[in-house]
Amino acid sequence: MKRNLLSIIILALLVVNIVLSAIMMVTVSSASRKTAALVADISTIIGLEIDGLPASDVGASSVAMADTAVYNITDEMTIPLKNDEDGTAHYAVGNVSLSLNKTHDDYKTYNEETLATSEGIVKDIIYSVLGSHTVEEARSNSEQIKSEILVKIQEKFASEVIYGVSFNFLYN
């Protein structure tokens, strides 16, 4: 008799546990959905994208890889970054590549050979844009920095034949 009574008590506690777990899951998932909706609304208001910057902001248009020419800046670049709040000096060391649209009308004017003669101008733009950021900004906002560099290069050359900037920097 004691075994049956103990089994009934265990079964009752098990049922109560399942019911309370179900109530908790419904409550938590409801709050979770509300929190996700709130975050989505706030990010929409301040203009953030869930998946990062939209492709139009980074300058990545729909150019096929077969129509892309890549120009690599020949030398490794060492760029002094803006000092932190505590005055510590930091540097970015790495390489930069530019993506060119071979089907663009200006490609004959600005191809790999002509960019080699204008490399100093491109380097100056990269130095000025990246050098205006702190090391933390450079690490966390690389897509924004690429976009800034691209816009300045396109303004300088008055052409959108260069449609992408890629870089690989190590920060010290």
| pLDDT digits 0-9 by tens, 8-35 | 999 999 999 999 999 998 888 878 888 8
Extract the tokens encoding 11. Answer: 């079964």
Confidence of residue 50 (pLDDT cuts 50, 70, 90): low
- Output the pTM of the full model: 0.62
Helix axes 142-157, 119-131, angle to 10 degrees: 140
**What percent helix, strand, coil does the chain show, rounded to 5?**
55, 15, 25
Instruction: Identify the pLDDT of residue 41.
Output: 78
Residue 80 parent element (H or E): strand 77-80
